[in-house]
Amino acid sequence: MTISGPGIFFDGVTTARHVVAVELAPAGLSIRAADGTILAEWHYNELDHRPAPSDVLRLGRAGSDVLARLEVRDPDLAAAIDESSLPIDRSGVSERRMRMKVIAWSLAATLSLVLVAILGVPRLATRLTPLVPVSIERKFGTQVEAQVRRSLDSSGTGKAFECGRGAREVQGQAAFEKLMGTLEMAAGLPTRLEPLVVRKEEPNAFALPGGHVFVFKGLINQARTPDELAGVIAHEIGHAAHRDGLRTVLQSAGISFLFGVLLGDFFGGGATVLAAKTLLRDKYSREVEAAADGYSVMLMSEIGGDPRALGQILLRIAGSRDSPRILLDHPDTRDRVAAIEAMAGSGPTRPLLDASEWAALKNICAGS
């Protein structure tokens, strides 16, 4: 949930006093005027605590030539900023936390040498992945999601990169949310899903740690039925349920990153870039992908959809020139589809969306 509150902003150029809304974004503070205009965006690590009365949190931007400042009187908002920014430490919590992290890192370094010698990084990551709290994985996933989005949005279109926002796309977004809601309720994951349709032509979808799911426009274009689309998304929900993304990053990034995640110390820019590149580049093993196929069959059967639909769309896009990730590093597609058919069995199905909802979803990226 986004934390926000009121503040007073001085831009350092004029004497104007601006009543603003201060929002705590993942990377820093967003300072907005009454009309919604962004007046400033300050990274948490750039914040400078300035002298002020005890009931006022006065902030500046360290190293800036412009003497802009922000004043916050809301105690809850001030406490949230204090918690998010290492340089702002009115309560002494950050200093105590840093001492504890130094101790923890020392112990972890010693333990890691022993465990690496005994188990090796891949096996160690596999064993420790279930021990990472869901709340930490979600925070980690939020950081990685922002980096992945920047990597995918090569043209820098920002919010326009997302489908479902334009006037002609609203009904499609509603249909997509209905489909995702059905899948999410049946999955019953310990963290909520954060699905997003983006304007990428490749027929693809993938899940990131913490429940973030990217669905490409090209996949929706290729899907002939709601069940085909839902089958692929259910496969990705399987990766989220099995925490495959987190385990892959831990296995690829090494022992220091593994313990950084366990200690919640993974917010450095380099760490999130490394994690994003790992998830966009690396492929899951055949066993991991087969398990996600099995999860899709189970979930589609649970909601009354056609569990064979995943195999149908995979066969159709198998010859795609773009070689989408959902087909990479698999057995022969026909062997894979045969395995899906064997798991699916037979049983009645029901429409996941009606004809008008499916038509709307197919146009979720139609533009404004």
Q: What is the pLDDT of residues 239-262, one digit of tens each?
A: 999 999 888 887 776 555 655 555
Task: Give the model's confidence band at 298: pLDDT under 50 very low, under 70 low, under 90 confident, else very high.
Answer: very high
* Measured CA angle at 226 (ends 221, 229), to 5 deg: 60
Neighbours of 92 (CB within 10 A): 9
Residue 155 has pLDDT above 50, yes or no: yes
Q: What was the pLDDT predicted at 252?
A: 74
Query: How far is it, in rounded angstroms, from Cα 246 to Cα 239?
Result: 10
Q: Where are the domains of the chain?
A: 3-84, 131-362
Q: What is the CATH number of domain 3-84?
A: 2.30.29.30
Neighbours of 40 (CB within 10 A): 20
Q: Within its chain, how far is the Cα of 23 from the centroid?
A: 20
Q: What percent of the chain has pLDDT over 70?
A: 79
Q: For 13, phi and psi rounded to 5 degrees?
A: -105, -40
* Measured CA angle at 58 (ends 55, 63), to 5 deg: 160
In the DSSP assignment, the letter for residue 219 is H
Q: Which residues contact 72 (CB under 8 A, 6 or more apart)?
A: 5, 6, 7, 22, 56, 57, 58, 59, 78, 81
Instruction: Write the Ramachandran bin of 329: left for phi over 0, alpha for psi from -120 to 50, otherwise beta.
Output: left
Q: What was the pLDDT predicted at 105?
A: 57
> How close are the terminal C-alpha atoms of the chain, in Å?
28
Do 258 and 266 form a contact (C-beta atoms < 8 A)? no
Across 309-318, average pLDDT: 92
For CA atoms 29, 34, 40, 41, the dihedral sign is positive
Task: Give the model's confidence band at 188: pLDDT under 50 very low, under 70 low, under 90 confident, else very high.
Answer: very high
Residue 323 has pLDDT above 50, yes or no: no
Q: What was the pLDDT predicted at 360?
A: 97
What is the chain's mean pLDDT, rounded? 83
Query: How far is it, in rounded angstroms, from Cα 249 to Cα 245?
Result: 6
